[in-house]
Chain A
Amino acid sequence: MDLLKRLQELELVVVTGKGGVGKSVITASLGRLLAARGRKVLLFEVDPRENLHQLLDTEPSGGEIINASPRLYLQHIEPRELIDDLVREKLKVNLLVNRVLSSPVHRHFTEGAPGLKESAVFGRALRMVEGHGPPVLRRPDVVILDAPATGHGVSWLAAPQLVADVVRSGPIGHMAELISAFLGDRSRCGVVVVTTAEEMPVEESLELITSLDERFGREPEVVIANALYPAIDEDDGEDDAAAALWRDRRAINVTQLERLNASWAGPLAEVPLMPIEPGPALIGAIARRIETQLRTL
């Protein structure tokens, strides 16, 4: 099936990968790409240090939904606040709400209960794509989550099932079931793995692909190899320092791409290093690059 078409039909895309490989840049670029193709896109950022807004040249979200460009929105999410919102919504009586929110049991529970915060983020994504968003963005077609670094990426995806397993009753248990089913539905949710073609990131990506398969019986929609040095012409006559470094770094990229290809049979998109400052111009260029790559896969 046409990969671009498939990505366009998803309602949730989870972008994950090792720290420092450029997940946020790829998240923003995928958002730009899908928005350009007519989808209404909301980017979720959970890292406490916001940076998506810089890439898209908007004001920082500070928790609000910000419109960055036509059909492209971003929001910084603080999982704790989502849970507090849930309490407000379910309890309704102000005095009780305050009592619960300031109760050590609540704080302790939301900090300590495994999977709750992660589930809350997915839960919010589900509510949004089902049309329960605020007036500024009632219903995005797709939410793209800039997920935390890999090791945590898997535990994020596992969170709703975990909550559903331990909380068998009540609205939370019920919601966790719904969210878990949503995540497990490959026609609605997809995972995109971002890596660089270097030893450690590739190592982690391969581990991630394995555990996606083992734990969820699924595979990423696409693996994106980011920040590649361009291919070098072996006949490049001059052997100055720059050419030598270029050749060496490219050789690492080639070796690691081969390693990825040897273990990962699915689609692999290659995104080169680009001589463009981080910002909308870079995001646009990478979005176009990903689009071209996806067409050929």
Chain B
Amino acid sequence: MSAPLTIVVGSGGVGKTTLAAAMAVDEAINDNDTLVMTFDPSLRLKDALGVDANPETNEIQVPFEAGGELWASLLDARRTFDTLIDRYAPDDTSRQRILTNRFYDHLSGSLAGVLEYMASERLFEVASYGKYHRVILDTPPTRQALDFLGAPERIVSFLESGALRIALKPWFDANGNFKAMAKLGILGRNVEAFFDRMVGMELLRDMAEFFQAFAPLYDGFVERALEVQKMLRSDETTFTLVSGPGEQRVADTLFFARKLIETGYRLGPIVVNRVHPKVDDVPEVVNLDDGRGLLAWLGTRDHQGVAQLRELLGDSHPLVVVPLLPDEPTDLASLAELGAMLREQLAR
């Protein structure tokens, strides 16, 4: 956990948010001023960190006595999108054009990768003003952990593709009529006629207007996206991969690990979370109402998974095993305990 930037990745529901918070608390205890950026904390964790969705606040200092300061922030899709428009729109007219476009509402939530991109942009901002020794980023709850990482790249390639240029072309003349795609000749007119027949000109006009309204924002986008890409690949950044327990997760975990490495990221520890304790005598047959037997069965399953993963990983990456706890840690004391456990295992 020595890199200034730690990015916690993994499938949905494996406990990334809690682990990110625990790592942050532990860093603060170890004298580092630390920021944890989180997406989807439980109500209790939100309370513990004191973060809320107040649009006026970015980072909030957590009331926590330690050698270093502990800060937290909560990322929200719509809010980050609004901020983005506020920041980049050159004037009020453009801002209004975007905000009143009927696509905005839907796109701000669904435009591929925008939330992920915004998160990495925020991260870049935070890292560049150098206030923190450590920044720990929880990643959005996507089923595909790697979506997040691809976002800056996707945005850049989207912006550099012909799609955008076409969208930005003056498609409509002063009277609001669709200009023929003259240079495509007959074929172009056919394509155009096809789109018209399929979806109607009204929709195309709305979309074109929306993307044109966004035009002034694009330059800043590309530049920042490239910087974010560079930062994600730098030596200052480490990825912590979190996995659920059990044998059937092994393939998934290895797949993510391989993808991360192939894409040029620095993969640090792999954390197998919520591992059932190992029990020596597992009954042959487990009845459904026998919790002890069930736990023994689950313990065997989970530890077989861990052993498999350990064997396949070799010494390439540290493997941290976090046992299933009596309850999800949500207060600062239990987060500190969990963080210390991670640190202790990594020190071995």
Contacts and interface: CB of A to CB of B under 8 A. Distances in A.
B183 interface: no
A246 B298 CA distance: 12
A241 B203 CA distance: 63
Contact of B291 (A104, A151, A250): A250
A103 B276 CA distance: 52
A168 B202 CA distance: 8
B294 A91 contact: no
A248 B291 contact: no
Contacts of B103: 114, 166
A200 interface: yes
B293 interface: yes
The 4 residue pairs across chains A and B that have the minimum distance between CB atoms: A19-B12, A20-B13, A248-B326, A108-B163
B191 A168 contact: no
18 contacts: A19-B12, A19-B13, A49-B143, A87-B194, A105-B163, A111-B158, A114-B106, A114-B107, A149-B12, A166-B102, A171-B197, A171-B198, A203-B42, A245-B324, A248-B326, A248-B327, A249-B326, A275-B286
Contacts of A277: 248, 301
B57 to A, nearest CB: 22
A21 interface: yes
A148 B12 CA distance: 11
B14 interface: yes
B106 A246 contact: no
Interface residues of A, number: 64
B333 interface: no
A135 interface: no
B107 A112 contact: yes
Interface stretch (B29-37, B109-117, B309-317): B109-117
A225 to B, nearest CB: 15
A167 B203 CA distance: 6
A99 B188 CA distance: 9
A198 interface: yes
Given A99-B187, A109-B207, 8 more contacts: A104-B166, A113-B207, A162-B106, A166-B102, A167-B200, A230-B291, A242-B277, A275-B286
A107 interface: yes
B12 A18 contact: yes
B326 A231 contact: no
Nearest to B289: A230
B288 interface: yes
Contact of A201 (B13, B291, B298): B13
Interface of A: 18-21, 47-49, 54, 87, 90-91, 95-96, 99-100, 103-105, 107-109, 111-115, 148-149, 151, 155, 162, 166-173, 198-201, 203, 229-232, 241-246, 248-250, 252, 272-275, 277-278
A162 B301 CA distance: 45
Contacts of A250: 291
Contact of A96 (B166, B187, B207): B187
B91 to A, nearest CB: 25
Contacts of A275: 286, 293-294, 297-298
Given A105-B163, A155-B110, A242 B295 contact: yes
A6 to B, nearest CB: 27
Given A47-B143, A231-B289, A274-B288, A242 B296 contact: yes
B107 A246 contact: no
A149 B291 CA distance: 29
Given A19-B143, A96-B191, A232 B291 contact: yes
Contacts of A232: 291
Interface centre among B163, B203, B244, B291 (most CB of A within 10 A): B291
A104 B292 contact: no
Interface centre among B143, B161, B277, B289 (most CB of A within 10 A): B143
Contacts of B191: 96, 99-100, 103, 105
B197 A170 contact: yes
A18 B15 CA distance: 12
B292 A243 contact: yes
Nearest to A116: B199
Contacts of A244: 326
Contacts of B212: none
Interface in B139-192: 141-144, 158, 161-167, 187, 190-191
Given A167-B200, A168-B200, A170-B200, A19 B207 contact: no
A200 B286 CA distance: 29
B16 to A, nearest CB: 10
Given A115-B106, A245-B324, A275-B297, A20 B12 contact: yes
Given A148-B143, A230-B289, A245-B326, A108 B198 contact: no
Interface in B254-297: 255, 276-277, 279, 286, 288-297
A88 to B, nearest CB: 12
A172 B203 CA distance: 11
Contacts of B163: 104-105, 107-108
Given A105-B166, A113-B207, A199 B291 contact: no
A173 B200 contact: yes
A170 B107 contact: no
B46 to A, nearest CB: 11
Contacts of A18: 12-13, 141
Interface string B183-223: 00001001100111111101100110000000000000000
Contact of B195 (A48, A105, A148, A201): A105
Contacts of A273: 294, 298
A242 B297 CA distance: 12
B143 A96 contact: no
